[in-house]
Amino acid sequence: MKLAYWMYAGPAHIGTLRVASSFKNVHAIMHAPLGDDYFNVMRSMLERERDFTAATASIVDRHVLARGSQERVVDNILRKDKEERPDLIILTPTCTSSILQEDLQNFVYRASIISDSNVIFADVDHYQVNEIQAADKTMEQVVRYYLDKCYRQEKLNQFLTDAPSVNIIGIFTLGFHNQHDCRELRRLLRDLDIEINQIIPEGGSVKDLKNLPKAWFNLIPYREVGLMTAMYLNKEYGMPYISTAPMGAVDMAEWVRQIHKNVNTLALSLSSKRVDYEHYIDGQTRFVSQAAWFSRSIDCQNLTGKETVVFGDATHAASITKILAREMGIRVSCAGTYCKHDAEWFKEQIQCFCDEILITDDHAEVGDMIAHVEPSAIFGTQMERHIGKRLDIPCGVISAPVHIQNFSLGYRPFLGYEGANQIADLVYNSFALGMEDHLIDIFGGHDTREVITKSLSTDLGLIWNPESRLELSKIPRFVREKVKKNVEKLARQKGIETITVEVMYAAKEAFNT
Amino acid sequence: MSVKIYETLTVECETGNYHTFCPISCVSWLYQKIEDSFFLVVGTKTCGYFLQNALGVMIFAEPRYAMAELEEGDISAQLNDYEELKRLCIRIRKDRDPSVIIWIGTCTTEIIKMDLEGMAPKLEWEIGIPIIVARANGLDYAFTQGEDTVLAAIAHRCPEPELSIRERKETLQNLLAFHSIKKKELVKYTNNPSLVLFGSLPSNVASQLNLELKRQSIKVSGWLPAQRYTDLPSLGDGVYVCGVNPFLSRTATTLIRRKKCELIEAPFPIGPDGTRAWIEKICSVLGVETQGLEEREERIWESLKDYLDLVRGKSVFFMGDNLLEVSLARFLIRCGMIIYEIGIPYMDKRYQAAELLLLQDTCKKMCVPIPRIVEKPDNSNQIRRIRELQPDLAITGMAHANPLEARGISTKWSVEFTFAQIHGFANARDLLELVTRPLRRQKNLEDLGGTTLVRKNNKFSF
């Protein structure tokens, strides 16, 4: 048993559901007790989704405990099959159902014989993998299922497209700025004259998965989710993949050069046109994107040697660490990730860019480390933002888990050249605010709270008895003065001298505050 | 699927495929209510993830609750439950020093049959802090019923009153035989036996209700739960108890059967009509004549006029997830609204009897048919009915709110009713403020056009 207050990555079924609900026309059925369909709330609230989330629960209750699910799971699958006609139904186990040890695989087998939809069982172990790993695994499972099926039916079309093309793997729902990143990637690839064969899972159709091998190679923008699929496609279909995240000017150039290499290798054997992107990289880096110029500007000079702490998922934490150290000359005192399963890669990526590396999924440990380092700014998740608030250190949010304010309506990619601009803004704003705060402290501040909250009504002649004073103190601070004013107004109107709790409620009713 | 209209009260039952919060969410308001408590949820990552997301920022205020997260070793019994819990509870005692630790059993502890009730007394004796066990799991309960299980468990710890009523009467007779100057006071005391209210309310709402009863010269001798665990009210033979929320049926049962209390079956003090009926019922049971109650209710209705104009004639559909539905529907009918359906997770007809009766009376009074009550609703069927009925307002969980809004159906998030202050006369306006907010917003955006914001070829676009 572990005493836990907070976690960075959710339980496995969330990962499976995120992949399932990103595909078009795929329905997930959770084998779960009442209340475990919280995923739908998150998706509807955080993503402000207009559609009903295609995930329902096959409820596990007392009867299931006593007699097993029996026909219930199969019935629920068939009902969804009839009602919504999805292409694929994914039966998703939860932590509860995985200890029941019912043969869900068998239910899936039975349902798949009768139903028109394909039915698969998400093969994830709740006690061994977390949300991120489960998402990775489920995506690979879905891709493998459809490709194997086509292979067996000998319908697989393995001919490459004429022009260079790619698949983008790993854009999905509730991902950190994924929608914006996806748009930015599209733009970059258009600039490079490369076609997009497919984007999965977001908005993709499982019916099209059979065409995945037609692309020349795969792009994996975030290594947390998509790498397994890419490795599978590499092994079975010999598709090369690029797992560098095009985040920051240097990695961006590296990413373009890798594309360049891949395109040219295949172009040679397909005797099609060869490409050269060096000119593009140079132009974009120096003149189109502002990030490189920003690094040289006087603003950024002021940031030299400032201390920071970075924490997040492996992709974002590593990239941001590299950007801060390599591109802005900021000192990263400690960089860390909660992706424990990917610790080796993470360490290798950043070991020469930071003083210390922290691999943990315990937020208290991260908090202690931040308190110990006392950096001028933090770049982390929603949790580090709150740690920063407590310690009075500004924080830029760079990675999931995040709250609704990070699902911005405006265009905010982290990838590509526009992403580099956004990151530069984020970094600069975090520090600038920190400096401003500091200056205010030195010069005695412009905090006018005292003056504003000082009641303008005269307290003369009115006595608050102890109970009413206590009651008043319970009212939230931001409305307290207003309440006080109204109560005293009523008391004066009615000629009451001592204010009691009764008078307070009478005032509430009278003024509806 | 047409909608049947009933003349009498009927409760239908559907498949139970509906969305609601897990009952462990009660931790979020109970730990704030009981100031010296610590809630330990014994469950998995799934429970923790739910709590952390459902409670939003509250988690960052050094909460007095935590997960005892079960790992593979716990599930396969490689680790000793007792030793593990002991280790965690000792740490909690060291860090927070609470007056009581409340273990919340979850689905997983049910399935692996962890004997929390058996371990608690032993550990309590060993570490010297009371440990209470509440099984608030999603296998058996929905959302607010979590509070019910916790309060039912706490009720067992309430002290016995020092004097039972019978003894009190005897003492009184003895005293009356003598020529005592305290006679008058004692008469008043017996006329007003001990009354304990149960249900967790914010402290200012609780004191508002106390005051309402005080106006009728009824003294509330305590609340279950009290602000502190160490202040639990005495309960026992002859103590009258009355609920303030419709989801407390287990607590009521425990109070009657185990603590031998007298239950006052009243409608719930939600809305001015409910509050008046609640006070009247308490007064009638305790033999007190009410004073100025009718005028008071009248005045409150008067002050709600602007909101009432807004809601009159509008229709409402309750999808059902927190058991407040019947009381809210009754209030809204009295406000002049039309209710198409009352979805509800669980309907205890005995505990809610007075509320259901008031619902019937209200319908008769307002000349509207009694709405159908659907227990254990099926969300996909309900969405089909909503599409057909096009209500002016759907009161629903967050999972459905945005998709319905995108299809031009105004919604109100039902969970807000659990967290907002809705009890008593003084809060009637707050309640209507919640109900009318989507209607007012709609009015503000009326001229904007395009109320349906999903593409036509989309599934369920309606």
Segment A333-369, tens digit of pLDDT: 999 999 999 999 999 999 999 999 999 999 989 999 9
pLDDT value, residue B58:
58
A81 Cβ contact partners less than 8 Å away, ≥ 6 residues apart:
A89, A111, A115, A116, A117
B417-426 pLDDT, tens digit per residue, is 998 999 999 9
Longest Cα–Cα distance in chain B: 89
pLDDT value, residue B79:
85
Q: In whole angstroms, give the CA distance from residue A462 to residue B106.
A: 53
Note whether A1 contacts B70, CB cutoff 8 Å. yes
pLDDT value, residue A450:
41
The reply to whether omega before A401 is within 30° of 0 (cis) is yes
- Window B:83-122, CB contacts with A under 8 Å: 84-85, 87-88, 91-92, 107-108, 110-112
The three-state secondary structure class of A234 is: helix
Which CA distances in Å does A165 have to A212, A218, A226?
10, 9, 18
DSSP string covering A427-495: HHHHHHHHHHHHHHHHTT----HHHHHS--S--TT-EE-HHHHHHHHHS-HHHHHHHHHHHHHHHHHHT
| B261, B341 contact by CB (below 8 A) | no
Encoded tokens for A442: 């030195």
Q: In whole angstroms, give the CA distance from residue A138 to residue B390.
A: 38
Q: What are the start-end ranges of the E strands in B204-280?
A: 222-224, 240-243, 262-263
pLDDT value, residue A437:
64
pLDDT value, residue A452:
38
- Window A:462-501, CB contacts with B under 8 Å: 471, 474-475, 501
Residue B408: how many other CB atoms lie within 10 Å: 15
Q: In whole angstroms, give the CA distance from residue A189 to residue A180.
A: 14
pLDDT for B185 beyond 60:
no
Question: How wide is the angle at C-alpha A160 spanned by C-alphas A158 and A166, nearest 5°?
Answer: 110
> Residue B398: which of A33, A41, A94 has the nearest Cβ?
A41
Query: What number is the average pLDDT over the span A82-104?
Result: 91
Percent of chain B whose predicted confidence (pLDDT) is above 90:
75
Q: What sections of A277-415 are H helices per DSSP?
A: 278-283, 291-296, 298-301, 314-322, 328, 343-350, 363-373, 382-391
> What ipTM was predicted for this assembly?
0.87
Q: Which chain A residue has the Cα nearest residue B107?
A: A96
Confidence category of residue A487, pLDDT binned at 50, 70, 90? confident
Note whether A84 contacts B459, CB cutoff 8 Å. yes
pLDDT for A455 beyond 60:
no
Confidence category of residue A307, pLDDT binned at 50, 70, 90? very high
Q: Which residues of chain B lie closer than 8 angstroms to A512, CB-CB?
A: 303, 429
Of residues B446 and B64, more confidently modeled = B64
| A327, A289 contact by CB (below 8 A) | no
pLDDT value, residue B187:
47
Percent of chain A whose predicted confidence (pLDDT) is above 90:
60
Note whether B399 contacts A41, CB cutoff 8 Å. yes
pLDDT value, residue B233:
94
> Residue A44: phi, psi to the nearest 5?
-65, -35
A322-335 pLDDT, tens digit per residue, is 999 999 999 999 99
The identity of residue A380, as a single letter, is: G
The identity of residue A122, as a single letter, is: A
Lowest mean per-residue pLDDT among A196-200, A308-312, B83-87, B439-443: B439-443
Q: Which residues of chain B lie closer than 8 angstroms to A8, CB-CB?
A: none
The three-state secondary structure class of B426 is: coil
Q: In whole angstroms, give the CA distance from residue B58 to residue B256.
A: 35
Q: In whole angstroms, give the CA distance from residue B345 to residue B11.
A: 12
pLDDT for A467 beyond 90:
no
Q: Is B375 exposed, middle or buried (0-12, 13-18, 19+ CB in 10 A)?
A: middle
pLDDT value, residue A101:
84
Q: Which chain B residue has the Cα nearest residue A507?
A: B426
pLDDT value, residue B77:
82
Encoded tokens for A392: 């009075």
Q: Which residues of chain B lie closer than 8 angstroms to A1, CB-CB?
A: 42, 68-71, 74, 79, 84-85, 87-88
A466 Cβ contact partners less than 8 Å away, ≥ 6 residues apart:
none
Q: In whole angstroms, give the CA distance from residue B226 to residue B198.
A: 9
Q: Which residue, chain included where needed, has tokens 């371990």?
A: B119
Q: Which residues of chain B lie closer than 8 angstroms to A508, CB-CB?
A: 426
| B65, B41 contact by CB (below 8 A) | yes
Note whether A5 contacts B66, CB cutoff 8 Å. yes
Distance from CA of A191 to the nearest CA of B (A): 30
pLDDT value, residue A225:
94
Q: What are the start-end ranges of the E strands in B182-281?
A: 195-198, 222-224, 240-243, 262-263
Give yes or no for B284 touching A (CB within 8 A).
no
Give yes or no for B230 touching A (CB within 8 A).
no
Which residues of A are catalytic, by number?
299
Bridge partners of A354? Answer: A332
Encoded tokens for A177: 């700025």
Note whether A94 contacts B402, CB cutoff 8 Å. no
Distance from CA of A176 to the nearest CA of B (A): 16
Q: In whole angstroms, give the CA distance from residue A143 to residue A141.
A: 6
Confidence category of residue B6, pLDDT binned at 50, 70, 90? low
For the four alpha carbons of A394, A397, A400 and A404, in that order, the dihedral sign comes to positive
- Window B:392-411, CB contacts with A under 8 Å: 397-403, 406
Q: Which residues of chain B lie closer than 8 angstroms to A50, CB-CB?
A: 402-403, 406, 453-454
Note whether B20 contacts A52, CB cutoff 8 Å. no
Note whether A1 contacts B69, CB cutoff 8 Å. yes
Encoded tokens for B283: 């007064």
pLDDT value, residue B297:
95
Q: Which chain B residue has the Cα nearest residue A85?
A: B459
pLDDT value, residue B190:
47
The three-state secondary structure class of B262 is: strand
Distance from CA of A356 to the nearest CA of B (A): 26
pLDDT value, residue B47:
92
Note whether B143 contacts A35, CB cutoff 8 Å. yes
> Residue B111: which of A44, A99, A501 has the nearest Cβ?
A99
> Residue B158: phi, psi to the nearest 5?
-70, 135
Helices A466-474, A477-494: crossing angle, 10 deg rounding: 140
pLDDT for A511 beyond 80:
no
Q: In whole angstroms, give the CA distance from residue B281 to residue B267.
A: 8
Query: What number is the average pLDDT over the span B159-171?
Result: 63
Distance from CA of B16 to the nearest CA of A (A): 8
CB pairs under 8 A between A and B: 186
> Residue A11: which of B45, B60, B453 has the nearest Cβ?
B45
Note whether B107 contacts A96, CB cutoff 8 Å. yes
pLDDT for B296 beyond 60:
yes
- In the 8-state DSSP scheme, what is residue B259? T
Q: Which residues of chain A lie closer than 8 angstroms to B143, CB-CB?
A: 35
A143-193 pLDDT, tens digit per residue, is 999 999 998 988 777 788 889 999 999 999 999 999 999 999 999 999 999
- Window A:89-148, CB contacts with B under 8 Å: 94-96, 99-100, 126-128, 130
Q: In whole angstroms, give the CA distance from residue B247 to residue B352.
A: 9
Confidence category of residue B1, pLDDT binned at 50, 70, 90? very low
Note whether B142 contacts A34, CB cutoff 8 Å. yes
- Contacts from A400-408 at CB under 8 Å and sequence distance 24+? A400/A174, A400/A175, A400/A176, A400/A312, A400/A313, A401/A8, A401/A9, A401/A10, A402/A176, A403/A46, A403/B56, A404/A45, A404/A46, A406/A176, A406/A177, A406/A382, A407/A46, A407/A47, A407/A48, A408/A177, A408/A180
Residue A70: how many other CB atoms lie within 10 Å: 12
pLDDT value, residue B171:
57
pLDDT for B410 beyond 60:
yes
Look at residues A189, A190, A168 and name the one whose alpha carbon lies nearest to residue A178.
A168
Mutation for B interface: A1, A79, A487, most B CBs within 10 A:
A1
Give yes or no for A3 touching B (CB within 8 A).
yes
pLDDT value, residue B211:
94
Residue B226: how many other CB atoms lie within 10 Å: 20
pLDDT for B175 beyond 60:
no
B376 Cβ contact partners less than 8 Å away, ≥ 6 residues apart:
B13, B14, B15, B16, B18, B345, B346
Confidence category of residue A444, pLDDT binned at 50, 70, 90? low
Query: What number is the average pLDDT over the span B67-92?
Result: 91
Q: In whole angstroms, give the CA distance from residue B170 to residue B158.
A: 24
Note whether A56 contacts B53, CB cutoff 8 Å. no
A409-437 pLDDT, tens digit per residue, is 999 999 999 999 999 999 998 887 666 66
Query: What number is the average pLDDT over the span B327-348?
Result: 96
Note whether B46 contacts A94, CB cutoff 8 Å. yes
> Residue B59: which of A5, A32, A84 has the nearest Cβ?
A5
Note whether A41 contacts B397, CB cutoff 8 Å. yes
- Window B:44-63, CB contacts with A under 8 Å: 44-46, 48-50, 52-54, 56-57, 59-60, 63
pLDDT for A397 beyond 90:
yes
Q: Which residues of chain A lie closer than 8 angstroms to B20, CB-CB?
A: 34-35
pLDDT for B56 beyond 80:
no
pLDDT for B393 beyond 90:
yes
> Residue A31: phi, psi to the nearest 5?
-90, 95
Of residues A14 and A154, more confidently modeled = A14
Q: Is the pTM of this model over 0.80?
A: yes
Which CA distances in Å does B352 have to A27, A34, B248, B417?
38, 23, 10, 18
Confidence category of residue A100, pLDDT binned at 50, 70, 90? confident
| B249, B351 contact by CB (below 8 A) | yes
Give yes or no for A509 touching B (CB within 8 A).
yes
Q: Which residue, chain included where needed, has tokens 């809204």?
A: B332
Q: In whole angstroms, give the CA distance from residue A305 to residue A309.
A: 13
A44-84 pLDDT, tens digit per residue, is 988 888 999 999 999 998 888 888 887 889 999 999 999 99
Q: Which residues of chain A lie closer than 8 angstroms to B453, CB-CB?
A: 50
Q: Which residues of chain B lie closer than 8 angstroms to A11, CB-CB?
A: 44-46, 49
pLDDT for A115 beyond 70:
yes
The reply to whether omega before A213 is within 30° of 0 (cis) is no
DSSP string covering B265-278: ----SBHHHHHHHH
Mutation for A interface: B19, B78, B145, B452, most A CBs within 10 A:
B19
* Cα end-to-end distance, chain B, whole Å: 16
